[in-house]
């Protein structure tokens, strides 16, 4: 930890020094510039096209490596005056650093040549868990794994490196982070969330935005972040991506709005809009959400960009507009600034028509153009554009990889450890590794890895280790064996796997889920696939110790196999360094410290969250035993043990101007060093809106040597016990509260 902090401090000093060396941003009078622009130039600024539109080859069949077509590029700039480009091209994969520089330099050069006002074009990319579309970049755990670290400082560093390596590619705009709350486990993008809890997700949001946006103006190491996806995208009733959500205004504000509020407070420059609908209204047409709430109430002043082709989908998917022209009008008047068109210029042409007809007021257009130009000023794009490798000596470095390793290591969550079977002794054990995730980097990384769905092995980062490769390095060759047994959805050689298992002392079964996201990731059943269940059941007949390692996009139901396992290590999607981290955890080189950022369901459709209402505890026999998840939110074991001792409060009465300090002594009662997440919850005994059985209100991650103790303190104010009431106002009602740490509780009266 000390070495990591020293590295991060030196990195911060380097970044600030280099940023200062860049010089001040070029002064641009945005209002004057807008006054010089034609209708066509304004409409172009509001248009974002995919790289495939200007590259050699078909839109979804590009030349490899991606190469620009100068005639196509000239048309996009000279005729349509485009304001933005995104992506690597439909169906294409990772781009080499030098090729990124070549592509972007050509865009800059052609823009100078063919643009009357030389307004820079801003490039955007989905750098979801690192600069995943640049060869050699550092890849981190996906967001759900980041949340499992319960370590905001570490998460901020992950995003700081993501920004650094994205800017090293020449790209100043990152479509990240996902701020949708993960309260629908069936949803294909669950792994892109920071989990189910508002407070934990807010804490991680704060870190992510700070890491991406940096803390110095016009820094060549910061990117414009993009809050995704405003609002309510993650709670489709069916669990299928981009299908209707039914969320009351109160619940929108209570659960789904706070992460976006936090991001805006931290300076997030852009927002991407929910592709779906809420209560029957597509969000891309919802003035109440995009203008009244986002702009007027929250004070967001940045750029609102659509998701992929979502303006057109108002016609052909949502059926709220008869024509694309009407769809363009509806979206712009609702509050959209830029359309991710992305494969043609029809949006631009229709927008020009609407402006010239007066159907969309020029004042509304100027509003959006001003926001877009301000973004470009803020990112230093009006300055002379350079792609200088010397500014980024740490790109893809071992130092960055070590931070990624720490992220993976701290995310690993030990869910079961019967008779302390873990850690294993590499010198004494004979081990079989099997299962679909044992020898696959793709299953460790998930979607948004080199390609959109993350399943193309051709782009995998050279030199990164799978689980079985990392384990093999720590064992004698004769003591370790690998037999796949099955893929995620088909049997390969379970019989051979069982035969191999007869010769070893321990069996590691690496369960996984095929990488997927968005619509291709839709599933009908959260159950672990039948071939993987068959593999575990066949091996269990040998009555040998079985350790499950789970690499899932979302919590797959393991109720049928969990009792057959002696240990369960939940790895989420830990990234390129996940293989090393998992092997080190299995062999005890690291002590697992991750905690679940979601409630792990025991049964298909049993989606009850930890912060549920008391009525959800009522069982069929009217007892209070209905809430029985596989594992609870915030749960995670360690190779050591922790004892929570004295729990104190500075006062038992809290008023408007008061604060209460809560302290608890924590002791490592085991024989090895470990990290513990101290979690503070509260329960509102009586409220005008039915209160949750408990809600997270504070947490802190600490490291303790064997037999060492530390007193952890939290300071709370009356506002920390607030909620959204029936009138849609955030209030704290007077009354009695219980404060909960582990199995200890104290009463607090709020007045």
Residues annotated as catalytic are 307
**CA nearest neighbour of 338 among 85, 618, 45:** 45
**Of the candidates 176, 165, 173, 15, which has an alpha carbon nearest to the alpha carbon of residue 95?**
165
Q: How many CA atoms lie within 13 A of 515 on its CB side?
A: 23
Alpha-carbon separation of residue 323 from 347, 360, 550, 614 (angstroms): 12, 16, 47, 48
What is d(CA 284, CA 304) in angstroms, rounded to the nearest whole number? 10
Q: Distance between CA 714 and CA 624 in Å, rounded?
A: 31
Peptide bond into 229 cis (omega under 30): yes
| Tokens 């809290």 found at | 654
Alpha-carbon dihedral 190, 193, 196, 200, rounded to 10 degrees: 160
DSSP 292-319: IIIIIIT---SEEE--TTHHHHHHHTS-
Within 148-225, strands assigned E span: 173-174
- Pair 674, 639: CB distance under 8 Å: yes
Could you tell me which residues are beta bridge partners of residue 744? Answer: 741
**Could you give the angle at the alpha carbon of 198 between the alpha carbons of 194 and 199, nearest 5°?**
95
Q: How many CB atoms lie within 10 A of CB 191?
A: 28
In our burial notation (b when 16+ CB lie closer than 10 A, e otherwise), range 600-619 reads: bbbeeebbbbbbbeeeeeee
* Bond from prior residue into 128 cis (ω within 30 degrees of 0): no
**Tokens encoding 430:** 């004979």
579: tokens are: 């293989």
Q: Pairing mode, if any, of strands 277-278 and 270-273?
A: unpaired
Residue 665 CB: number of other CB atoms within 10 A? 14
Alpha helix (H) residue ranges in 514-650 = 530-540, 578-586
Q: What is the CA radius of gyration of the chain?
A: 26
- The tokens describing 248, both together, are 């009351």
Cα–Cα–Cα angle for 607, 617, 257, nearest 5°?
Answer: 50
Maximum distance among all alpha carbons in the chain? Answer: 80
Cβ count near 265 (within 10 Å)? 14
Locus of tokens 């020449």 = 170
Query: How large is the angle between the packed helices 198-213 and 152-168, nearest 10 degrees?
Result: 40
CA distance 750 to 649: 13
% helix, strand, coil for the chain, step of 5:
35, 20, 45
The Cβ of residue 498 has, within 10 Å, a number of other Cβ atoms equal to 19
C-alpha distance from residue 475 to each of 427, 432, 502, 587 (Å): 7, 11, 18, 10
Let me know: does 686 contact 721? Beta carbons within 8 Å.
Answer: no
> How many other C-beta atoms can be found within 10 angstroms of the C-beta atom of residue 402?
15
CA distance 302 to 489: 44
Half-sphere exposure of 666 (CA within 13 A, CB side): 24
Number of neighbouring beta carbons within 10 Å of residue 661? 12
Residue 244, both tokens: 């209707």
């Amino acid at each position: 930890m000390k070495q990591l902090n020293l590295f991060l401090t030196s990195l911060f000093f380097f970044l600030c020094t280099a940023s200062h060396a860049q010089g001040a941003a070029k002064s641009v009078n945005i209002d004057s510039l807008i006054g010089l622009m034609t209708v066509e130039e304004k409409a172009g600024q509001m248009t974002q096209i995919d790289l495939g539109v200007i590259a050699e080859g078909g839109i979804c069949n590009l030349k490899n490596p991606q190469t620009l077509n100068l005639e196509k590029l000239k048309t996009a700039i000279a005729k349509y005056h485009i304001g933005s480009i995104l992506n690597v091209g439909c169906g294409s994969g990772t781009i080499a650093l030098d090729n990124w520089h070549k592509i972007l330099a050509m865009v800059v050069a052609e823009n100078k040549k063919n643009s009357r006002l030389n307004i820079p074009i801003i490039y955007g990319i989905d750098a979801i868990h690192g600069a995943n579309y640049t060869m050699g970049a550092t890849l981190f755990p996906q967001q759900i794994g980041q949340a499992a670290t319960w370590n905001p400082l570490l998460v901020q560093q992950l995003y700081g490196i993501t920004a650094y390596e994205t800017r090293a590619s020449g790209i100043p705009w990152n479509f990240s982070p996902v701020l949708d709350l993960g309260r629908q486990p069936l949803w294909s993008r669950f792994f892109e969330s920071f989990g189910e809890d508002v407070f934990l997700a807010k804490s991680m949001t704060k870190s992510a935005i700070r890491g991406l946006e940096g803390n110095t103006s016009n820094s060549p190491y910061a990117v414009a972040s993009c809050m995704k996806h405003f609002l309510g995208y993650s709670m489709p009733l069916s669990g299928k991506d981009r299908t209707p959500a039914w969320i009351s205004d109160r619940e929108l504000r209570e659960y789904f709005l706070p992460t976006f509020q936090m991001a805006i407070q931290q300076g997030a420059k852009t927002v991407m809009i929910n592709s779906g609908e809420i209560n029957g209204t597509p969000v891309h047409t919802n003035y109440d959400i995009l203008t009244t709430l986002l702009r007027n109430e929250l004070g967001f002043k940045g750029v609102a960009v659509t998701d992929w082709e979502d303006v057109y989908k108002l016609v052909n998917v949502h059926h709220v507009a008869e024509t694309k022209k009407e769809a363009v009008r509806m979206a712009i008047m609702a509050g959209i600034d830029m359309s991710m068109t992305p494969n043609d210029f029809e949006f631009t042409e229709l927008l020009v028509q609407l402006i010239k007809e007066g159907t969309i007021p020029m004042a509304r257009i100027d509003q959006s153009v001003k926001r877009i130009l301000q973004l470009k000023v803020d990112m230093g794009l009006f300055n002379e554009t350079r792609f200088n490798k010397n500014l980024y000596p740490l790109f893809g470095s071992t130092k960055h990889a070590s931070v990624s390793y720490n992220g993976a290591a701290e995310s690993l969550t030990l869910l079961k450890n019967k008779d302390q079977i873990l850690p294993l002794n590499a010198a004494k054990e004979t081990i079989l590794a099997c299962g679909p995730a044992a020898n696959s980097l793709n299953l460790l990384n998930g979607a948004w890895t080199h390609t959109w769905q993350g399943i193309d092995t051709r782009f995998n980062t050279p030199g990164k280790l799978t689980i079985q490769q990392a384990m093999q390095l720590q064992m004698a060759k004769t003591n370790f064996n690998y037999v796949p047994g099955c893929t995620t959805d088909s049997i390969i050689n379970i019989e051979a796997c069982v035969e191999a298992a007869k010769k070893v002392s321990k069996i590691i079964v690496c369960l996984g889920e095929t990488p997927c996201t968005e619509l291709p990731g839709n599933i009908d059943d959260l159950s672990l696939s039948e071939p993987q269940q068959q593999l575990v059941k066949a091996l269990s007949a040998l009555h040998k110790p079985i350790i499950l390692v789970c690499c899932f996009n979302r919590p797959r139901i393991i109720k049928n196999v969990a009792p057959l396992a002696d240990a369960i290590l939940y790895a989420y999607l830990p990234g390129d360094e996940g293989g090393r981290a998992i092997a080190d955890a299995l062999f005890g080189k690291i002590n697992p410290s991750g905690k679940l950022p979601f409630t792990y369901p025991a049964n298909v459709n049993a989606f009850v969250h930890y912060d549920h209402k008391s009525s959800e505890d009522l069982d069929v026999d009217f007892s209070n035993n209905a809430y029985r998840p596989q594992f609870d939110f915030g749960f995670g074991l360690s190779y050591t043990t922790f004892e929570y001792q004295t729990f104190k409060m500075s006062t038992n009465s809290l008023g408007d101007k008061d604060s209460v300090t809560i302290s608890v002594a924590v002791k490592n009662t085991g024989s090895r060093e470990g990290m513990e997440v101290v979690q503070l919850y509260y329960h509102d005994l009586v409220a005008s809106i039915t209160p949750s059985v408990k809600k997270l209100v504070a947490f802190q991650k600490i490291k303790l040597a064997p037999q060492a103790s530390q007193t952890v303190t939290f300071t709370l104010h009356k506002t920390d016990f607030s909620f959204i009431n029936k009138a849609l106002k955030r209030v704290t009602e007077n009354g009695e509260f219980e404060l909960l740490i582990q199995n200890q509780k104290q009463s607090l009266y709020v007045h």
